[in-house]
Each structure stands twice: as C-alpha cells, then as structure tokens.
Amino acid sequence: MPVQAPAIEIQSPASDYDYMEYRPCQPLMPYVACYWTLEYRVTSIQAPLHRILPDGCVDIIFNLKARTASASGFVTGLMSRYEAAILTQEQSLFGIRFFAETVRPFIQFPASEFREGPVLLEEAWGAEVNHLNEEMVAALDSARRIQLIETFLFDVLRRSNVRSEPLVEQGMQHLYASKGKITVLSLAEKLNYSERNIRRAFQKELGMKPKEMTDIIRFQNLLQEMRRSKPNRFPDIAAQYGYYDQPHFINSFKRLYGMSPKQAFQP
C-alpha cells in the first residue's frame, strides 16, 4: 500500500488542512489502492505545504470547487520525484489512487500518456463523464462519493475491452514482492524475457523505466518501515534496503520526499 506525506507529517490541531484515505471494496482492490480526500479552508494560520510523493500510482481527481463540471475531473500520471505546493486557496478534492499496472481498463490509454501533466477526464471517458462530475460535486459526503465512484468503475470495467499489459502487470508483482529490492536482470530472469523487452514494455505502458519503478517501490516500502520505527533505527532500515552509504541514502530520500528523513519524521 503506497503512503503519502500527509499520512506521515503531523498536522497542527489548529490546522484547517484535512487529508483522509478510504479503502475500496474487495472486488476493486486489485485496481484501486485507496480513495482520498483533501479539504483546506483558508485561515489566518500559515498556509500549509501539501507534498505529493512518488507512489507508483495514477490518480483520477475531482476538484469539487471547479467552476464547470467538465473541468472538475482530471487524470494525473506517474511521478518520478516529489511535488509540493503551498495551499493559498480553498481546496476540496476527491481522488482515486489506481495501481499503475492495472489502471488501463479504466483510462483506456497507457499510463504513459499522462506523464506530461493532468488531462481532463472528459478526454479519457468522453462527455458522458460530466454527469458523474456533477454528481460528485453535488454529493453531501465522502461515503456517497465512494458509492457513486464504485458504481461507475464497475460499469466501466464491465464495458471495457481494454486489458492491462501482462508483462508489466507481472513485472510489478515481482517488484511488490521484493519490496523494490530487485535488479532489472533478476526481474528479466523471473519473467523469462530479455531486459530490453522489459524496458520497452515499461516505457511504453508506464512511461517509466523498470529501474525507476523499482526505486519508487523500494522508497515506499522504506517509508512504511520508518513509520513503524524510532529514528535511531533509520540507518539499519536504510541498509536493509540497500542504502549502505548514509549520504547516498539521504540524497535519494530528499529527491523523492523533498526533505531529509529526520525532517520528515520529526515528532
């Protein structure tokens, strides 16, 4: 399960910044990591920094404060490094976090098509999605939005004749199982394909090299270990994940998180 920065960083009790995650129903778990919401109301308190971490997922996001229904839903692709923005305007977002290797039946296109920036959901699902956009904006709470989304996703899945790329899906399962501690050569041996074929399949389907995805999966597993541990164990955990050199570990962590491990997990 991928983890995002708001679930790690402790927010001030006085903050009007609220981030929540919800599990999907059992049949959608192979496709959806979670649903999430972000609410922010501007106050006199210092504007929070919203940090987004690479997690190997593709998100469909509904901006519940969008001016028009057609502009409220959009797709964001995979990230290879963190992004951060200071929230200066009110936010009300509902997101669906899809696993990149199984999102294809829902967005119809390879995840690589969404690497350049957000794409309006209307372009992926057609004008019919505007009705869903309107229902999502009008819904009174997250429980109702999840109900609307799951009904819609089941319908899309039933009608879709697009399937995931088997080589990428199988490859990602090995990355998950190894917690990202696997080389491309070992992956090729497990899949019985050449490294070249695997690189080509990952690049075409995800817009990323298998080594990039390996780094992200390893980083995500590292974060989960660190969340459950005390700071004095961080060097040992880093070594378990192949970071034997502390400067290398800290530089890699900063590239993916935007701050040092000490700063990210400060009490």
Catalogue all structural domains in the chain, each as residue range(s) with its CATH number: 5-159 (2.60.120), 166-264 (1.10.10.60)
* pLDDT score at 189: 95
As a whole number of angstroms, the distance between CA 160 and CA 140 comes to 29
pLDDT of residue 27: 96
CB 74 within 8 A of CB 60: yes
Q: Report d(CA 209, CA 186) in Å as an integer.
A: 15
At residue 11, the pLDDT reads 62
User: Taking Cα atoms as reference points, which of 202, 137, 254, 65 lies closest to residue 246?
Assistant: 254
The span from the CA of 220 to the CA of 212, in Å, is 12
The alpha carbon of residue 155 and the mean position of all alpha carbons in its chain are separated, in whole angstroms, by 23
In whole angstroms, what separates CA 34 from the centre of its chain? 9
Instruction: Please say whether the beta carbons of 78 and 98 come within 8 A.
Output: no
Distance from the first to the final alpha carbon of the chain: 23
Looking up tokens 């006199």 gives: 44
Sign for the CA dihedral angle at 39, 61, 86, 7 comes to positive
> Which residues have C-beta within 8 Å of that of residue 203, sequence separation ≥ 6?
112, 209
Write down the pLDDT at residue 12.
55
8 Å CB contact between 216 and 176? no
Q: Mean pLDDT for each 10-residue chunk of the chain (267 residues)?
A: 84 71 96 94 75 94 85 90 85 94 90 88 83 90 96 91 90 96 95 95 95 95 90 89 87 92 83
| Residue-level pLDDT at 9 | 78
